[in-house]
Structure 1
Amino acid sequence: MALIQAKPFRLALIQLSGLTSSKPHNISIARSAVAQVSKTEPKPQLIVLPEIWNSPYAVSSFRPYSEIIPSPSPPTDLIVQGGEEEIKEEEGETVKAMREMARDSGCWLIGGSIPEIDKKTDNIYNCCTVYDPSGRLVAKHRKIHLFDIDIPGKQTFKESETLTGGTQLTTFETPFGKIGLGICYDIRFPEMAMIAARKGCVAMIYPSAFNTTTGPMHWTLLQRARAVDNQIYVAMCSPARHPEASYQAVSRPTDEV
């Protein structure tokens, strides 16, 4: 097991109330919220957005709202295609906006998740991106465990009707420690947090959008379990239903919320 090395850091979880079916409106809401939070004192080093915040959370919306997300890149943010020609990778409007949010705020940004389209395969993914304070895309995580649920008389929802699951655990390095990523339903599978902890991660962060059927029963329980099991910090961030909503939590390795 790798030695976990970390420095104290301040984490901000933004729930983004007031989201609609308008992508430009949602981007504006996120941009304003990140700017506001980045001006608080003490200033956060890491800001987290929720799952699928630029789109309605519906299988019918994932493809229409999907965007191209480049591969994490070196500081030049360039790829070489043929000879000496250098061309920037194509990227969607939400990705561009999140780069700007990170750069303008001077904070690390975990951009929640948005629908991603892979132009080579035409597959759609639920994808979380991470940006450093210069606005550079440093990591992206494709949701591994898709949320398929069928509770008679209550809720039926199958992400797998539209989405393809990812296949890789994602971690990234910061000046304050290594961080592991998951998305929502990923937290129900303990192996991800276990592997991340053994790779030296100080925290697992899960942008999420828990439903109101199983969410209230398991939201805090799952975070506490992953934190205690692996002696790391665990944070989740879900969209708010209204300005007074409180549907986020951080668990210490001691089980405190």
Structure 2
Amino acid sequence: MGTSERSITTMKPNRIAAVQYGIGPLRSENEFWNRIRRHIAKAEAEEARVIVFPEYMTGHLLSLASPMSNVEACEYLHRFTDEYKSRFTRLSRETGMLILAGTHIHRDGAPTEAESHAYYNEAFLFFPDGRIEGHKKNHLTPEERRSWPLLPGDRYAVHDTDIGRVAIQICYDIEFPEGSRILADMGADIILCPSYTDAAAGYWRVRHCSQARAIENQLYVALSGIVGSMPDVAQVDEGYCQAGIFAPCDRPFPPNGILAAGTVNRNTIVCADADLERLAENRSLGAVSPYFDRRPDLYAAYPANRERPS
């Protein structure tokens, strides 16, 4: 059933917590997991129903090891896969929260013959009932393609949850409008965007595109990211972020579409309500309807694969 056909009626506001996750030297694995629990406890205190951790979050564990190559780093992180899944499964069950546990690098299911590209950068969504859904990053950055042994994902999915229909776009994914439009057509109400950007320019690309996707598809986008620094870890050495929850720039939302935004580069969480009733009001009574007012017949007259003029 398409977005225009769905009826959103009596659901209560759904609070989302987006994490500005602070990295720095770790003394033990327990310290890493204690930091995770503190963020979740803060989200619980804010009565959040979902928490979004950032891309490459488990890369924080690299601070426990000696400097290594990207290939070695991927294999090192892969060894935490079972523990990562079991711990977040337990945390989701104990708290009753939907947890987007950042992204984690692993090689489960990767083709064994792809020796030089044998890992995935995958976001995992943990449900209180024990279910786990994953989204492999579809659009690898030029650096990830050039310097990391990573394979891209190849699918889109929307998940039915207690807070609405949820989809995932990982960092660079959000910079491609086609993917979010596909997810909107699949019925997404909320896009969760775990990101990792190490400089202001990268952050603002992801931030502006997150807000653009919210406007053009008339849905919510929750953006999380990494802050802080680990100078001795080449793979995740520094983070720049201002996490936020974004909506269309139209009634009944704030004129700038910003429901909440953090303090730049502070280790914290940011919370806002992704109210499905307000989203339905925007889709039916907004001043503009960019999702519904598309003109596919016009666009189809212009071939997508034309060579760009030099």
Note the C-alpha offset of 1:131: 1.2
CA deviation profile, 1:171-221 (whole Å, cap 9, x unmatched):
211122101111111011111110111111111111000230532442331
Q: Write the mapping of 1:127-206 to structure 2, written as runs, cut at 5 A.
A: 127-134=122-129, 136-149=130-143, 158=145, 161-206=148-193
In structure 2, which of residues 207, 214, 217 is the aligned counterpart of residue 230 of structure 1?
217
Larger relative helix fraction: 2
Note the C-alpha offset of 1:52: 1.2
Structure 2: runs of 5+ lacking an equivalent: 63-68, 113-117, 230-239, 250-255, 259-310
State the TM-score, normalizing by the size of structure 2: 0.65
CA deviation profile, 1:120-141 (whole Å, cap 9, x unmatched):
624210011111123x133100
Distance 1:31 1:173, change over 3 A: same
Distance 1:129 1:224, change over 3 A: same
Instruction: Find the counterpart in structure 1 of residue 111 from structure 2.
Output: 121
* Aligned AA (1:99): T
In structure 2, which of residues 21, 35, 49 is the aligned counterpart of residue 16 of structure 1?
21
* Aligned AA (1:124): Y
Distance 1:140 1:19, change over 3 A: farther
* Aligned AA (1:9): N
Q: 1:44 aligned to 2:48?
A: yes
Is the 1:146–1:160 Cα contact (8 Å) retained in structure 2?
no
In terms of Rg, which structure is larger? 2
Give percent identity, aligned residues only: 23
Note the C-alpha offset of 1:251: 1.4
Distance 1:203 1:5, change over 3 A: farther
Is the 1:59–1:159 Cα contact (8 Å) retained in structure 2?
no
Note the C-alpha offset of 1:27: 2.6
* Aligned AA (2:91): M
CA deviation profile, 1:54-106 (whole Å, cap 9, x unmatched):
125883422221158xxxxxxxxxxxxxxxxxxxxxx6111111111111211
* Aligned AA (1:101): L
CA deviation profile, 1:156-182 (whole Å, cap 9, x unmatched):
x64663110010112211122101111
Instruction: Find the counterpart in structure 2 of residue 53 from structure 1.
Output: 57
Instruction: Find the counterpart in structure 2 of residue 62 from structure 1.
Output: 74
Q: How many residues align?
A: 223
Structure 1: runs of 5+ lacking an equivalent: 69-90, 150-156
Q: CA RMSD in A?
A: 2.5
- Counterparts of 2:219 and 2:149 in 1: how far apart (Å)? 33
